[in-house]
Amino acid sequence: MPIYSVVGTQWGDEGKGKLIDVLADSADYVVRYQGGNNAGHTVVVGDEKFVLHLLPSGVLHPRAKCLIATGVVVDIPVLLREIATLQAKGVATDHIFISDRCHLIMPYHIKLDELKEQSHQKIGTTKRGIGPAYVDKYDRCGIRMADLFNDNILYQKIKENLSHKNLILQHIYQAAPFDADLLFEEYRQYADLLRERVIDTRLEMQNALHNEKMILCEGAQALMLDIDYGTYPYVTSSSPTVGAISVGTGIAPQHIKRSYGVMKAYATRVGEGVFVTEQNNDTGAYLRNKGNEYGATTGRARRIGWLDLPVVRYACQINGLSDVVMTKIDVLSGLDEIQVAVAYRCGGDHPTRNIPADLSYPNADISAVYETFEGWNEDLSAIKNYHDLPPACRRYIEFIEDYLQTPLTMISVGPERNQNIFKNGSIK
């Protein structure tokens, strides 16, 4: 049985959590493989809304084992709180496991993230310590989940890290230092709380593949926040691509058979960085309000723009997407006109469909070339069949599908599990 994957094609918050929840009812495993609790994935079931930050969005399906694989950076107190919140709502949590090789987000990472954001080069991060934790991982001084179970190593690592971090905290930021003994006491207790859940997730997945199980991999963030291919430096510190699944789980890439890219019918972005199709105007305000575009993790108002097709095409190429799933088309109802970016104009050059490396925010001389579509007024939220969509809406969808040269398999018309239209055959 192959691996299926879900990734974001824009700047995050496309509705990946919803799609994972829809697909997870036939999955044996749902796996997060990069990022950390910077993610906010919303799943709506009836009157209940769940926002998952670290746990895979398949967690509401007790049949599927939920794995936090090696590529994820884990903030243990956040993980324990998220598990406790689900338990309080009566959701089973025995099926949640974490890789013994995951790196930990430590309290000093969170502090350093906050302080750097206040002092220079503001990225608009989620202040969850993601960047500093990945820095330590690649600097080869990070603390891993397996270290929790060896008091000597855990103590040594905390001590060594703090001998360096405390200098930065005190002398660069004039902030209070951390106490190694206190941190050690706190973290050694987590060993007992997590012992049953910390496993070799690679081996678990390898055996699952051998036993023909279905594995669903859940990307966090999205391509334009990718450390290499996104709008650097206004990106996150991991790679939210299909390619990263192999690295983040330890499973060979040929097992990945189908990859769904989630695309919002317009665009949003949280934090700083270039946003060529941004609509900082009444249209943007209308869409923010109607689409409830406020961050699921930080509550920040999301910036709003028209759909940027060169960006989504870039995501189709880099991820090798087999399917695109469009979300939130219902939010576009009520506009007279809808615009879609089809190319970029960079300075005096000819328009291009490629994404240039240097977007030099905020002074870039880059603008979008738009195609304009007639809007529609109908409420789409109860529509189940593609041909019941208003003709203007179908023209919009078909133009996008043609541009991307990738089948649009599902169109989501509301946050609920069953508010979907299927097109081009089966989603699974």
- Do 2 and 255 form a contact (C-beta atoms < 8 A)? yes
Specify whether 47 is catalytic.
Answer: no
**Phi then psi for 101, rounded to 5 degrees?**
-100, 0
From the list ligand IMO, Mg ion, ligand GDP, none, pick the one residue 412 interacts with, judged by a Cβ distance below 5 to 8 Å according to partner type: ligand GDP
- Do 6 and 219 form a contact (C-beta atoms < 8 A)? yes
Which range, of 38-46, 162-170, 186-194, 385-393, touches ligand GDP by CB under 6 A?
38-46
Query: Judged by CB under 5 A, does residue 100 bind Mg ion?
Result: no
Nearer to ligand GDP, 8 or 305 (CB): 8
186 CB contacts (<8 Å, ≥6 apart)?
Answer: none
**Rounded-to-integer distance, Cα 125 and Cα 272, Å:** 8
Nearer to ligand GDP, 109 or 288 (CB): 288
Query: Judged by CB under 6 A, does residue 361 bind ligand IMO?
Result: no
Query: Judged by CB under 5 A, does residue 21 bind Mg ion?
Result: no
**Rounded-to-integer distance, Cα 143 and Cα 165, Å:** 14
Query: Judged by CB under 6 A, does residue 414 bind ligand GDP?
Result: yes
How many CB atoms sit inside 10 A of residue 56's CB? 31
Give me 30's structure tokens: 């749902």
Specify whether 41 is catalytic.
Answer: yes
95 CB contacts (<8 Å, ≥6 apart)?
Answer: 59, 62, 64, 65, 66
Q: What is the dihedral of CA 15, 20, 25, 31, to 10 degrees?
A: -160
Give residue for tokens 């910390």. 198
Q: How many C-alpha atoms does 109 have within 13 Å on its Cβ side?
A: 26
Minimum distance, C-beta of residue 219 to Mg ion, in the bound complex (Å): 11
Minimum distance, C-beta of residue 18 to ligand GDP, in the bound complex (Å): 4
H helical segments located in 195-333: 201-210, 243-249, 282-290, 309-319
Q: Which is the catalytic residue, given 21, 41, 75, 330?
A: 41
Q: 362: cis peptide before it, omega within 30°?
A: yes
Q: Exposure of 105 by Cβ count < 10 A (0-12 exposed, 13-18 middle, 19+ buried)?
A: buried
Among 3, 10, 11, 18, binds ligand GDP (CB under 6 A): 18
From the list ligand IMO, ligand GDP, Mg ion, none, pick the one residue 330 interacts with, judged by a Cβ distance below 5 to 8 Å according to partner type: ligand GDP
From the list ligand IMO, ligand GDP, Mg ion, none, pick the one residue 125 interacts with, judged by a Cβ distance below 5 to 8 Å according to partner type: ligand IMO
Query: Judged by CB under 6 A, does residue 39 bind ligand IMO?
Result: yes
Which range, of 41-49, 104-112, 155-163, 241-249, touches ligand GDP by CB under 6 A?
41-49
Q: How many C-alpha atoms does 122 have within 13 Å on its Cβ side?
A: 7
Nearer to ligand GDP, 7 or 208 (CB): 7
Query: Judged by CB under 5 A, does residue 19 bind Mg ion?
Result: no
Among 154, 205, 296, 340, binds Mg ion (CB under 5 A): 296
Largest CA distance in the chain: 67
Nearer to Mg ion, 154 or 270 (CB): 270
- State the binding string over 89-128 for ligand IMO (x if CB under 6 A, else -): ----------------------------------xxxx-x
Give me the residue whose beta carbon is nearest to ligand IMO.
271
Query: Judged by CB under 6 A, does residue 302 bind ligand GDP?
Result: no
From the list Mg ion, ligand IMO, ligand GDP, none, pick the one residue 15 interacts with, judged by a Cβ distance below 5 to 8 Å according to partner type: ligand GDP
Tell me how far CA of residue 307 lies from CA of 224, 276, 396, in angstroms.
13, 10, 11
Give the 3-state secondary structure of residue 49: strand
Nearer to ligand IMO, 56 or 147 (CB): 56
Give the 3-state secondary structure of residue 169: helix
Query: Judged by CB under 6 A, does residue 130 bind ligand IMO?
Result: yes
Minimum distance, C-beta of residue 215 to ligand IMO, in the bound complex (Å): 19
Residues 254-293 that bind ligand GDP (CB under 6 A): 291
Among 169, 225, 242, 366, binds ligand IMO (CB under 6 A): 225
Question: Strands 65-68 and 366-374: what pairing?
Answer: unpaired
Give the 3-state secondary structure of residue 54: coil
From the list ligand IMO, Mg ion, ligand GDP, none, pick the one residue 128 interacts with, judged by a Cβ distance below 5 to 8 Å according to partner type: ligand IMO
**Rounded-to-integer distance, Cα 86 and Cα 78, Å:** 12
**Rounded-to-integer distance, Cα 324 and Cα 18, Å:** 14
Binding positions for Mg ion, rule: CB under 5 A: 13, 40, 296
Which residues are known catalytic residues? 13, 41
Binding positions for ligand GDP, rule: CB under 6 A: 8, 12-18, 40-42, 44, 291, 296, 327-328, 330-331, 412-415
Binding positions for ligand IMO, rule: CB under 6 A: 8, 11-13, 38-41, 123-126, 128, 130-131, 220-222, 225, 236-237, 270-271, 296
